[in-house]
Amino acid sequence: MRSMLNQWVASIRQGIGRRTPGGDVRRLPRRHRIRAQLRRHSVAIVSLVIAVSSLGYNTWRNETSELHRNWRQASFELTREINELQQVVLYRRYFHSVETLSPGEVGDAETWILGWGRAASVRDLTSVLPDPLPARGVHLHTTWAQHAQHLNAGDESAREAEEALLAALDDTRDSVLELIRNLR
């Protein structure tokens, strides 16, 4: 019994081998040793591959889901800001007394400040969303900067200002709604 144990220990020390009919251990070539170890540990290797790939996929899916949740929340907030800016544009265009304003005068300070705040908010919110929204947000803010002072002018420049601002608002709103539709 002791001699068999000694032979077994010797075979472990020599590496993986085969017993000859006489009890001697013969070393196998290196490629046979690797194949034998792979065969012995194949279940563990397959389990490890499955675990690592599952972890990678789960991490990617969680990151993607979180990004889409953030985009969705920003899109809903952006839609609200766009609608409120549209109300400011329409209010300044239709409900200000044109006769009391002198040329270059701003009009109602409250709606003027609200309009600038909404336009800046739209620009900032679109900057965290995917293309083409950042460009649309900058375009809307630039359009507001160019045309807002003409809204209550009472002439053709007021109509042009209203049309330019409403077109920029519609373009931005359409892009936001398209993003919301495409999120999964």
Q: What is the tens place of the pLDDT at every residue in 15-31? A: 555 555 555 545 667 77
Residue 101 predicted with pLDDT over 60:
no
Establish how many alpha carbons lie within 13 A of residue 126's alpha carbon, considering only the half-sphere containing its beta carbon.
29
Contact 81, 125 (CB under 8 A): yes
Task: Could you list the beta-strand ranges (E) of the chain.
Answer: 17-19, 25-27
Per cent of the chain over pLDDT 90 is: 55
pLDDT at 103: 47
- Give yes or no for a contact between 140 and 83, defined as CB atoms under 8 angstroms apart: no
Res 158: pLDDT: 84
Model pLDDT for residues 64-100, shown as the tens digit of each residue: 999 999 999 999 999 999 999 999 888 877 776 554 5
pLDDT per position as a tens digit, 148-157: 888 877 778 8
For 92-130, give one letter per residue: b (16+ CB within 10 A) or e: bbeebeeeeeeeeeebbeebbebbbebbebbbebbeebe
Helix (H, G, I), strand (E, B) or coil at 98: coil
The whole-number average pLDDT for the span 97-104 is: 50
State how far the Cα of 82 lies from the Cα of 36, in Å rounded to an integer.
Answer: 68
Asked, as a colleague might, if the bond just before 132 is cis with ω within 30 of 0, I would say yes
Q: Mind listing the domains of the chain with CATH numbers?
A: 2-37 (no CATH), 68-182 (1.20.120)
**In the chain, what percentage of residues exceed pLDDT 70?**
77
pLDDT bucket at 9, cuts 50 / 70 / 90: low
